[in-house]
Structure 1
Amino acid sequence: MKFQSERGEVSVSSAVFSNMAGVAATNCFGVKGMAFRSMTDGLVHLLRREAMSKGVKVTYNEDDSIDIELHIIVENGVNLTAVCRSIMSEVRYVVNHNTGVTVRSVDVCVDSMTM
């Protein structure tokens, strides 16, 4: 995504949005980490901090907004609705505050729960 100003042009890659959204999501209460479903064995794997962007999908829209899809693993016993609402709000705020880009939607997919 490119931003134009009187001083020049700034390009922001999708990796920036992915990492920012992943960090914001994993800082929320009840989130164990980001998830990645392996194509070879079909199992869900917990991603390490440096690879958490694999659990995030960013889609660019024509109106210069973005859609974010997160795949997470949550801790056992948490209220899924409350955790997902918290993640949606936090990710939307962090991305908008740090980049100025409008986040149209944040979709949270709970792929697994740890025991």
Structure 2
Amino acid sequence: MIKVQSQRGEISISSAVFTSITGAAATNCFGVKGMAYRSMTDGLVHLLRREAMSKGVKVTYNEDGTVSIELHIIVENGVNIATVCRSIMGEVKYVVTKNTGVEVREVNVFVDSITV
């Protein structure tokens, strides 16, 4: 949980907020099939349903009040992966900062699979 000071008091933002915003922003980008989750039981990568997207996102709170975001995605076949990842990084950074007021230090994107 991150705490933000305002003139009227303290605002606490849970990691669920960051993961929901991140998952929605990432999956709205062109070329993204969805969020990914690697199962610990079978080791396979699974496409997450919309209500479980947050499993593909990890948020780290930094000492300087910023957040670092790690997300795992599945991309569509035939897209330029580097371009899609750059698009996601920019979009996630913008949307999270705009909606929470918290600066995003970095966004790390892991492409776990490609749909065929």
Tell me if TM exceeds 0.5. Answer: yes
**Rounded Cα–Cα distance in structure 2 between residues aligned with 1:9 and 1:108:** 31
**Could you say which residue in structure 2 is the equivalent of 1:43?**
44
Q: Number of paired residues? A: 115
Partner of 1:21: 22
How far is 1:41 from its partner?
A: 0.2
Distance 1:60 1:12 in 2: 11
Task: Give the partner amino acid of 2:84.
Answer: V
Map of 1:110 onto structure 2:
111
Runs of 4+ in 1 over 6 A off after TM superposition: none
Task: Tell me which residue corresponds to 2:90.
Answer: 89
What do the CA deviations read for 1:44-84 (whole angstroms, capped 9, x no partner)?
00000000000000000000000000100000000001000
TM-score by structure 2 length? 0.97
In the superposition, the TM-score normalised over structure 1's length comes to: 0.98
Q: CA RMSD in A?
A: 0.6
Q: Which runs of 5+ in 2 are unaligned?
A: none
Give, in whole Å, the separation in 2 of the partners of 1:89 and 1:4: 26
Q: What does 1:6-17 correspond to in 2, within 5 Å?
A: 6-17=7-18
SS at match of 1:97: helix
Where do 5+ consecutive residues of structure 1 fail to align?
Answer: none
